[in-house]
Structure 1
Amino acid sequence: MKRILLFVFGLISISSFSQEDAWIFFNAKPNAQYYYDNPLQMLSQKALDRRTAQNIALDIRDVPLHQPYIDQITASAGITVLAKSKWLNALHIKGTQANINALTVLSFVDHVQYANHSLNPGGRKSVTTGKTKPSNKFLDIQANYDYGTSANQVQMLNAHILHQQNYTGAGKIIAIMDAGFPGVNTTTPFQRLRDNGLILGGYDFVHDSPDPYTGYQHGTQVLSDMGGYVSGQLVGTAPDAHYYLFITEDVSSESPLEESNWVEAAEMADSLGVDVINTSLGYFTYDNPNYSYTYDDMNGTTSFVSRAADIAFTRGMICVTSAGNSGSTVNPHIAVPGDAALNLTVGAVNAAEVKGGFSSIGPSFDGRIKPDLMAMGVAAVVATQTGSIGTNNGTSFASPILAGAITSFWSAFPTKTNAEIVRIIKESADRFTAPNNNYGYGIPDFQLALNRALSAPSFTQEKFNVYPNPASDFVTVTCPGESLGSEIVVYNSIGQIIFRQNLNAFIQYIPVKNWSSGIYHYAIASAGKKQNGKIIKN
């Protein structure tokens, strides 16, 4: 009996005194009105202009955290504050379970979420497993740029058509979340960016340093696929965009803090007026297996970073994220934040437009189409930290190739909202009417997108878009900002209402998997007007 008691005490000791990562969420922002009255205290004029252009009002998520709350948590016994998020009104903290739980009695604390899933109410059991490591159309192109060996990855998307029309990303800003950018400040492939003042700055959130030109060169290669320029060898898809370089990934370890680093960087990007965020990172397993995710968590709402990615979209930005490189492993599905509903999650194809075996697959756990789109990520041409031009494999490179093309396309239509841009691009993709879990909606065609956006009145007159049609699992409804709060009602063939829902987000999903095959009718009511149509269920 004594031995058993000693063993139990040992378990209690380990549980009580080991350090845990957690997020503590607050329930208020008492000084919100001050910031509403003085918006330049929380956002730059560039950010405010972006919001105005898309008719997005300021809200409580824009307001900074209440500093006295932060001070009180920081002063609490045994608690270390590692990161903070105004969007989620939360701090990332570290401490023993006992010290963290003691904070829940504070009047301004809403709840605590542990990175260790087993410590949360209803959480799953602790995990004991170890870490898992995780065509002819190109022959007759006369590009204005000498793309050299990078021609394939640009022309696959018809992004060179954008460049020929002088849509090269000018006036738009891209933020890159990555592991480091050594050589960007010195080597030839990035000289054009430097000479034209296109690198606006950056920050190393891992080491709390203003120097982004350090760390691991993964970010350097990612940037090269958007902004790199060596005539005859490599031309990025957004050579005239502006860039912010953020280090959020700690290559020495895998921990949930990297999610919080990403959120801090995304909030900074928002405040600086960024338009597009590229994330060639994904998280599924961590060094502490109790912090790792399972496929069940790939639902867009479980992870801290995925929730923030969707908030970024509501601020008027587009998040482009790599799907992950786990397609041939025991965990073949997308990782966070690629599961976020409003992210454009990107898988990788080769030069023949065939999916790379490593490219992670969908759907999300709740059945949504993922990845969203595809781009070249097998033998993608990149620049390294030494300035040499080579190739690399990974959805890490498919994502920036597409992110740059999206940015160049948006520069052609700067007054369109992020939701409109996403809709047009998805509709241009080669599998749009028949998406699947390997390719999503497929490879977008920016010449088709450009032609439609310039000439088709539906893109300027239609308020809502409902796709794909026919559908099997989900129907996506895009909603302009001024029409948020509208209601969609779906009727069966005899006029019975089978579904109704308020449209409170720019992009929402209607589950149709359990509907019987056939034709349904929908009506969307907005400001006294109605849009009617049909949904065909396969």
Structure 2
Amino acid sequence: MKKLILFLFTVTFFTSFSQTEDAWLFLKDKPNKTSYLNNPLTMLSQRALDRRANLNISLDSLDVPIDENYYNLLKKESKITILGKSKWLNAVHIQGEVDDIQNLITSYSFIKNIEFANKSLNTSGKSSSTSKNILPNHYKKFSKTTSSFNYGDAENQIKMLRGDFLHNQGLTGENQIIAVIDAGFLNVNTLDAFQRIRENNQILGGYNFADRNENIYSRDSHGTHVLSAISGYIKDKFTGTAPDAKFYLFISEMVESETVLEETLWVEAAERSDSLGVDVINTSLGYTTFDNPEHNHSYADMDGKTTFISRGAEIAASRGMLLVNSAGNSGGGSWKYIGAPADAPSVITVGAVDASRNIASFSSFGPTSDGRIKPEILGQGQSPAVINYSTGEGMTSSSGTSFSSPIIAGLIACLNQNQGFALKSSKKTVDNFNNYLKQSVYESADMFDNPQDQHGYGIPNFEIALNNYIASIAAVNDSSITELKVYPNPITSTFTISIDNQNKNDYTAQIFNLLGKKVLDIKNINSRIIDVSTIDKGVYLLKISSAHQYRTLKLIKK
């Protein structure tokens, strides 16, 4: 009898499934955009506006919400169901019968075009049919966690990347907000390992887009493990890579199914992150195949501009957020490539290595279909330590690029904490400090001069990345003080500033630490010896200026 019931359910499911289709309605305009742009706080928080100002990113029509009148008219349509929307793409995600969807474009003049998830229904666009035989099984997208009596700690996964150097410089993610977009955060509200961030009010909120409710501590433990790699803390046993960051937790993934709706929900979560002023987004998700095989993406679609989610990711990066995404776990299969949105050009895509720095066989390959290097960098994704979600009292071993991504994301936030230091030292308008940050990380990696399809640029060194970042900022800020000497550098207790200029007394200097705090003020430079014996060891920024000239240099105190 069970078999008969199952058979009838299957027939019914596929019959009803064949009658409906997912599609995105792209709208022509936003009639009220002027009003919104004149009142930006109706769209974005003050922190989001401040982040845009710091990065010299202007507001534009992409920030304006979908027109409410258009949305309400579509909502009244009885033959379609609205499942989601995106202001960035000015699109509404709907479901309905194909004919009913197609008729909408003649019924409403504000609809620009319709894009079906089933690409064969579109008048133009790529077909996924060429790669159906080599697409991965999406049910294996999350590697399972395996407990071990020897729980270990996070030392190897952090020191491999020289994340400890950032922490020793006071860069622990403070004043950074990270959004984790994932499948669920079971027990984060109760586990001891998250007590520190709960008590310090580091969890700012979140939203469950999958269920359209506020219950973020639900659904799945995958996001719990991911979050622990960044923020988990057990004294003397475990520390995440950005223990002092703050967090928004968003659920966009539904592990019980795989549908294109999840791409739309991710874009909604990214839009919410932007509006709240988030600095870094970690996503340990990726999309290539779906329950409806007609919706599957092909390798040709992995060009960073075809899938809905990757288009959204590019806009997210253009708003000033740093996006970190797992490469995927398909490296050992016939489909070995990264998924979306890891293919987006502006996303920092992370592959996986083991504890000995060897590439993990499951780590997905690049390049993108248009020939770009992906993944860019690697972190420990084979058996790194994460918090045991069921007890929270010890570590457990897990594998997947799902975990190398947050390990890296936390350190990206720590490095981005240095942005305040960069802004204080800058006198020039910089298009986007994020580009300097990403390039500094890539150039620090051990295979930067010889990237490979599965390794990308290799394993980054965040000590080198920090130095590269400071140097790039200094180069941006460099001006016309050409006859300048600072020696020795690195320094111990004293150093000399020498300027070959008759108006030496017109120059002043300040030394800032990596948190942007001024630690020394020097007046009237005149080839004098500067005593820095009271300054702690570390990396500093020396800013020398006069009324019309300035120069910024990196100082290293041994």
Q: Quote the Cα distance in structure 2 between the aligned partners of 1:26 and 1:259.
A: 18
Please tell me whether residue 442 in structure 1 is matched to residue 458 in structure 2.
yes
CA contact (8 A) 1:279 1:321 kept: yes
Structure 1 residue 148: Cα displacement? 5.6
Q: Quote the Cα distance in structure 2 between the aligned partners of 1:158 and 1:175.
A: 23
AA at the equivalent of 1:99? D
Q: Per the alignment, in what secondary structure is the counterpart of residue 220 of structure 1?
A: helix
CA contact (8 A) 1:301 1:340 kept: yes
Could you tell me which residue of structure 1 aligns to residue 237 of structure 2? 233
Structure 1 residue 225: Cα displacement? 0.4
Could you tell me which residue of structure 1 aligns to residue 85 of structure 2? 84
CA contact (8 A) 1:362 1:438 kept: yes
Please tell me whether residue 100 in structure 1 is matched to residue 104 in structure 2.
no
- 1:250-281 Cα deviation digits (max 9, x unpaired): 01100000000100000000000000000000
Query: Structure 1 residues 457, 108: closer, same or farther in 2, change over 3 A?
Result: closer
AA at the equivalent of 1:113? E
Q: Per the alignment, in what secondary structure is the counterpart of residue 202 of structure 1?
A: strand
Could you tell me which residue of structure 1 aligns to residue 8 of structure 2? none
AA at the equivalent of 2:380? M
Please tell me whether residue 75 in structure 1 is matched to residue 76 in structure 2.
yes
Q: Per the alignment, in what secondary structure is the counterpart of residue 417 of structure 2?
A: helix
Q: Per the alignment, in what secondary structure is the counterpart of residue 23 of structure 2?
A: strand
Could you tell me which residue of structure 2 aligns to residue 418 of structure 1? 434
Please tell me whether residue 45 in structure 1 is matched to residue 49 in structure 2.
no
Q: Quote the Cα distance in structure 2 between the aligned partners of 1:150 and 1:349.
A: 15
Query: Structure 1 residues 232, 148: closer, same or farther in 2, change over 3 A?
Result: farther
AA at the equivalent of 1:407? A
Query: Structure 1 residues 72, 282: closer, same or farther in 2, change over 3 A?
Result: same
Among candidates 367, 370, 373, match of residue 363 of structure 1: 367
Please tell me whether residue 392 in structure 1 is matched to residue 408 in structure 2.
no
Q: Quote the Cα distance in structure 1 between the aligned partners of 2:478 and 2:88.
A: 31
CA contact (8 A) 1:16 1:98 kept: no
Q: Quote the Cα distance in structure 2 between the aligned partners of 1:342 and 1:131.
A: 25
Q: Quote the Cα distance in structure 1 between the aligned partners of 2:17 and 2:379.
A: 48
> Normalized against structure 2, the TM-score is what?
0.76
CA contact (8 A) 1:131 1:287 kept: no
CA contact (8 A) 2:183 2:221 kept: yes
Among candidates 223, 246, 260, match of residue 219 of structure 1: 223
Q: CA RMSD for the aligned pairs?
A: 2.1
Please tell me whether residue 305 in structure 1 is matched to residue 321 in structure 2.
no
Q: Per the alignment, in what secondary structure is the counterpart of residue 149 of structure 1?
A: coil
Gaps of 5+ in 1: 1-13, 135-146, 464-538
CA contact (8 A) 1:334 1:362 kept: yes
AA at the equivalent of 2:441? I
Structure 1 residue 412: Cα displacement? 2.1
Q: Quote the Cα distance in structure 2 between the aligned partners of 1:50 and 1:453.
A: 19
Query: Structure 1 residues 408, 132: closer, same or farther in 2, change over 3 A?
Result: same
Please tell me whether residue 431 in structure 1 is matched to residue 447 in structure 2.
yes
Could you tell me which residue of structure 2 aligns to residue 516 of structure 1? none
Residue correspondence of structure 1 range 75-474 to structure 2 within 5 A: 75-105=76-106, 106-122=108-124, 123-124=126-127, 132-134=136-138, 149-386=153-390, 387=392, 388-414=394-420, 415=423, 417-455=433-471, 459-461=475-477
CA contact (8 A) 1:17 1:98 kept: no
Q: Quote the Cα distance in structure 2 between the aligned partners of 1:250 and 1:202.
A: 16
> Normalized against structure 1, the TM-score is what?
0.79
Structure 1 residue 413: Cα displacement? 2.5
Q: Per the alignment, in what secondary structure is the counterpart of residue 339 of structure 1?
A: coil
Q: Kindly tell me the number of residue pairs found equivalent between the two proteins.
A: 439
Residue correspondence of structure 1 range 52-63 to structure 2 within 5 A: 52-63=53-64
CA contact (8 A) 1:148 1:232 kept: no
After TM superposition, the structure 1 stretch with the greater mean CA deviation from structure 2, 147-156 or 438-447, is 147-156
Could you tell me which residue of structure 1 aligns to residue 66 of structure 2? 65
Q: Quote the Cα distance in structure 1 between the aligned partners of 2:330 and 2:96.
A: 32
Query: Structure 1 residues 294, 131: closer, same or farther in 2, change over 3 A?
Result: closer
Could you list the runs of 4 or more consecutive aligned residues of structure 1 that deviate by over 4 angstroms after TM superposition?
14-17, 125-131, 455-459
Q: Per the alignment, in what secondary structure is the counterpart of residue 153 of structure 1?
A: helix
Q: Quote the Cα distance in structure 1 between the aligned partners of 2:406 and 2:472.
A: 28
After TM superposition, the structure 1 stretch with the greater mean CA deviation from structure 2, 274-283 or 121-130, is 121-130
Gaps of 5+ in 2: 1-14, 139-150, 424-431, 480-558
Structure 1 residue 231: Cα displacement? 2.2
Q: Quote the Cα distance in structure 2 between the aligned partners of 1:237 and 1:163.
A: 9
- 1:119-146 Cα deviation digits (max 9, x unpaired): 1123537687697325xxxxxxxxxxxx
Q: Quote the Cα distance in structure 2 between the aligned partners of 1:16 and 1:176.
A: 32
Q: Quote the Cα distance in structure 2 between the aligned partners of 1:250 and 1:101.
A: 28
Q: Quote the Cα distance in structure 2 between the aligned partners of 1:130 and 1:298.
A: 14
Q: Quote the Cα distance in structure 1 between the aligned partners of 2:27 and 2:451.
A: 40
Larger Rg: 2
Structure 1 residue 71: Cα displacement? 0.9
CA contact (8 A) 1:77 1:99 kept: no
Could you tell me which residue of structure 2 aligns to residue 475 of structure 1? none
